[in-house]
A and B are shown apart, each in its own frame.
Chain A
Amino acid sequence: MLYPLVLIALAAAPLALLARLPGRDRIAWGLALIPLAIFGLTLAQAGPVWEGGQIVERIAWVPALGLDLSFTLDGLSLLFTLIITGIGTLIVGYAGHYLGADSGLGRFLAYMMLFMGAMLGLVLAGNVLTMFVFWELTSVTSYLLIGYKHDYADARRGALHSLLVTGGGGLALLVGLLLLGQAAGSYELRDILAAGDVLRAHALYPAAVILILLGCFTKSAQIPFHFWLPGAMQAPTPASAFLHSATMVKAGVYLMARLSPALGGTALWDVTLAVVGGATMTFAAIVAMRQFDLKAMLAYTTISMLGALTMQIGLGGKYGAEGVATNILAHALYKSALFMLAGVIDHECGTRDLRRLGGLRAYMPQTMVITALALLSFGGIPVMFGFVAKELMLEAALETDLGATLSVLAVAAIAVTAAAYLVTGWRLFSNTFLGQRSMAAMQQHVTDPVPGMLIGPGVPAALSLIIPLALLGPISGLIGPASTAIYGKPLEVELALWHGVNTALLVSLGAIAVGVGLARFGEQLANMRGWPAWSRGDMIFDRLIERTLAGATALTRTIQEGRLRRYILVTALAMLLFVGVPFASFGLGAIRFDLDPQLQFYEVLAVALIPVGVLATILARTRLGAIIAAGVVGAMVSLLFVLFSAPDLALTQLLIEVLSTVFLLLVFSVLPVRFESFSAAWVRRRDAIVAAAMGLLITGLVLATATNDAFAPLAPFFLENSLEKGKGANVVNVILVDFRGFDTMGEITVLFIALLGIYGLLRLRQGKNDVAPERVTTAEPAAEPVDTKR
């Protein structure tokens, strides 16, 4: 039963609101049992997966659309599920301490549970559409978590950036997945993975790959979309540790790894991933080295690691698959620990600025030991789990099928990155724990936090050491099925600390030597001049948003500037453009000129009087003349109804015509007695051209559609059933009161509303805006007198 795993987390969200109550840290540890239970439930049913099998589950969701809610547990899903729930357990407990003083803890943990459910759904989904739904849910919950401290402008900005970037990528992803499903003939992951050869040869393949990669690159913060992740560090630290290092940002990596057996193996996929991933890895590693904010530093190293994972998927091969799986686990362990430790330091010292920290070794010895463990794994120092993972990454680069150039470049990039990691790690450690006692440490009574707060970072940091020393066997059993899923073919994985003296080890040791050598110059490197601020991704993105909004405002001001005739002109022009142009291009062939042999001269006369009346209305010099001319038009329309078998219409039209004329005369009697032209001659010429084009378009449309008999007329139904079912001989009336009685009810409602409006306009005069005409000019003295004599 896989879906309860997702459901439990989602259903736990309301429960998490309990953490509003006092005793928040204990309640949080209680809530941490929920992810722990999911962890246990997953392990309990994962039996077949260890042997390389998978569990598949389908629930009919929208059977009519062939859309099933399907879940799959295979090696890769299992690895992610265990990371999400395992780290999740620690983080929920840790959050209780970190946000213990904050009454919003309940809301925070509720978001976290929702996120966890979404993330579990994402990695367990067996259908790409199901997966997409959860993918978007992670974006939304991430937005809520980053914007948790919503009274800070930076938090709102960071949240908005992440939502816009990942949401935009999500749109691309959706289209990509739809194309993928079209090409594969199914949206089930299993079918897609089985259709690899068909997919790679399909015409839609390049478009699908590019769109899917856009989604993955935005989610996993690859260049040039990386800028949202440092901004997301505005989230409370537990969220950063969980979402923005261990889980959500790896969703893009997950999807690429998941689809690589089906989509990989082409230059488009492999080289794009290797190059973008490698560039992201190196660039972010160098940027990270120069940060002063603990969390910013960790954020950039996370981007770097996401780049490394992407690159390894691109490099491919046995080692690529193993490297991805191993690095995902190793990174999740040491990076979640480091984030939680950054939170501990921030929590105790009130700052996470490296320039204001220092000398904490005497005050926070336990924290220092745990940090050292996590940093050693991060730096890839031998015997740590990070070292094992880095060796696999180097093997993947050395053994890649993508050619010697890319192989050498990848090895060099990994070496540079590894050296930069060491400098970063050393700067983080020395500036925090070594050196002079800092102001921050002196001002506050700084000590190690309560033990409960150190469990969170302590467990993964310790695992980073214990796994390579004692647990490589069982962990290989987990990495093996995961690598198999990434590789697409069964893989036997035997993780080992010692592979003998080989190229990977030599490169690794060389990088460590360089890193250690550079580490003493860390502060000089950090203080060197960097890129100007305007070239930073988030600044460019802000400007892009500003320009878009300014452009939208300018456009709105142009087409909706307040004067009615501008609105009508824009509407008419839009109609001419969007209906007229396509009609003139494709529709003219549909026009038929059917001559009517029964045409009578009085019919011609009645019809001909309509354009004449229209022209007279326009050209009339007096209001009375215009009303009379319009009345002629109305009378001719009534006459046409008489001539063409519509007696009810003729009667109604005539009645309304009379009423309209009376009303018109009434209204006109109170309006100013002017009827001259307000507009300049060129405006009138322009309007005449637009109006003539409009008339031509409508004439053409009538000719093209009225003579079209592509559809069976509805009339016979009403004619045949009128007496029998409607009990009436006048079919028009039967339609009005019976067949389409609800239309008539709507009509009556409209009339009633119009009546209410008219009543309100005419009778409710006590409004405060009511200004008598002669008082208008006095009410607005100098500013802008209303010119009534224009």
Chain B
Amino acid sequence: MIILLAIAIGSLFAGATYLMLRRSVVKLILGLILLSHGVNLLIFTMGDGVRRGASPLVDAAGQPPPGSADPLVQALILTAIVISFGFTAFVMALAYRSNQAVGSDDLDDLSTTDRL
């Protein structure tokens, strides 16, 4: 499984890098979204193995299920998902606003603050 995940994470990073290198602001946003997926999965693989059917929920006696999944990476990813959403939303607002001000969605037109 880890091999497949590694390939998927690699493809997410590769696609994100390529999209972020484009001049279109739309592609930049899409690249950021893919990058955050890649990073989340990357953190996921850093935990104590990938487990099936063993969510980190303890029973009434405080006992976790046998072979429980790593709760720490899940907590970290939960934070990461929310923060990357906040960040993406900010970039979207920025794109909207800069388009309003400059009239272009080409990032090369945003290379200087002195144009305005």
Contacts and interface: CB of A to CB of B under 8 A. Distances in A.
A771 B17 contact: no
Contacts of B3: 593-595, 703
Nearest to A636: B8
Interface in A729-770: 729-732, 735-736, 740, 743-744, 747, 750-751, 754-755, 757-758, 761-762, 769-770
A140 interface: no
Given A648-B74, A762-B96, A568 B20 contact: yes
A677 to B, nearest CB: 8
Contact of B51 (A617, A644, A671, A678): A644
B98 to A, nearest CB: 9
Contact of B2 (A561, A688, A707): A707
Contact of A640 (B14, B41, B55): B41
Given A614-B15, A660-B85, A691-B15, A607 B4 contact: yes
Contact of B109 (A663, A713, A740, A786): A786
A617 B106 contact: no
A788 B103 contact: yes
Interface in B69-110: 69-72, 74-75, 77-79, 81-83, 85-90, 92-97, 99-110
A699 B7 contact: yes
Given A645-B56, A735-B71, A761 B111 contact: no
A690 B102 contact: no
Interface in B12-63: 12-15, 17-30, 33-34, 37-38, 40-42, 44-48, 50-62
B72 A699 contact: no
Contacts of A614: 11-12, 14-15, 34
Nearest to B98: A761
Contacts of A770: 100-101
Nearest to B18: A691
B8 to A, nearest CB: 4
Given A664-B29, A687-B21, A694 B14 contact: yes
Contacts of A773: 99-103
Interface stretch (A210-218, A250-258, A409-417, A626-634): A626-634
Given A630-B34, A715-B47, A761-B93, A563 B11 contact: no
Contact of A691 (B4, B14, B44): B14
Interface stretch (A153-161, A234-242, A596-604): A596-604
Nearest to A775: B103
Contact of B20 (A565, A678, A743, A786): A565
A677 B27 CA distance: 10
Contact of B90 (A569, A611, A731, A757): A757
A471 interface: no
Contacts of A691: 14-15, 17-18, 21
Interface residues on A, range: 35 or more
Contacts of B115: 780, 784, 786
A372 B2 CA distance: 89
Given A608-B4, A649-B77, A761-B97, A565 B22 contact: yes
Q: What does DSSP make chain B's interface, helix, strand, loop or mixed? A: helix
A718 interface: yes
A736 to B, nearest CB: 5
Contacts of B38: 698
Contacts of B70: 713-715
B41 A713 contact: no
Contact of B75 (A611, A627, A670, A736): A736
B37 A633 contact: yes
A565 B18 contact: no
Interface string A117-149: 000000000000000000000000000000000
A719 B67 CA distance: 11
Interface stretch (A175-183, A186-194, A720-728): A720-728
B18 A688 contact: yes
A648 B103 CA distance: 41
A565 B92 contact: no
Contacts of A700: 6
Contact of B71 (A595, A617, A718): A718
B19 A599 contact: no
B31 to A, nearest CB: 9
A618 interface: yes
A702 B86 contact: no
Interface in A532-577: 561-565, 568-569, 572
B107 A695 contact: no
B86 A719 contact: no
B106 A678 contact: yes
A599 B4 CA distance: 10
A702 B42 contact: yes
A598 B13 contact: no
A404 interface: no
A747 B82 contact: yes
Contacts of A598: 52
Contacts of A706: 2, 5-6, 45-46
Contacts of B20: 565, 568
A61 interface: no
B11 A667 contact: no
Contact of A563 (B44, B60, B108): B108
B41 to A, nearest CB: 7
A475 B110 CA distance: 76
B78 to A, nearest CB: 6
A671 B92 CA distance: 10
B10 A695 contact: yes
A652 B78 contact: yes
Contacts of B26: 623, 626, 668, 671, 675
B24 A675 contact: yes
A369 interface: no
A758 B81 contact: no
A732 B62 contact: no
B19 A637 contact: no
Contacts of A645: 51-56, 68-69
A30 B29 CA distance: 71
A740 B78 CA distance: 12
Interface of A: 561-565, 568-569, 572, 593-596, 598-599, 603-604, 607-608, 610-611, 614-615, 617-618, 623, 626-627, 630, 633-634, 637, 640-641, 643-649, 652-653, 656, 659-660, 663-664, 666-668, 670-672, 674-675, 677-679, 687-688, 690-692, 694-700, 702-703, 705-707, 713-715, 718-720, 722-724, 729-732, 735-736, 740, 743-744, 747, 750-751, 754-755, 757-758, 761-762, 769-774, 776, 780, 784, 786, 788, 790
27 contacts: A565-B22, A568-B20, A603-B1, A607-B7, A608-B4, A614-B14, A637-B37, A646-B74, A656-B82, A659-B85, A670-B100, A688-B18, A690-B21, A698-B42, A699-B7, A702-B2, A702-B6, A715-B48, A720-B64, A729-B57, A729-B60, A731-B56, A731-B57, A732-B56, A735-B71, A754-B89, A773-B103
Given A646-B55, A667-B93, 20 more contacts: A563-B108, A565-B23, A607-B4, A611-B7, A644-B44, A645-B52, A649-B77, A652-B82, A663-B88, A667-B92, A670-B96, A672-B99, A672-B105, A694-B14, A695-B11, A698-B42, A699-B9, A723-B58, A744-B79, A762-B96
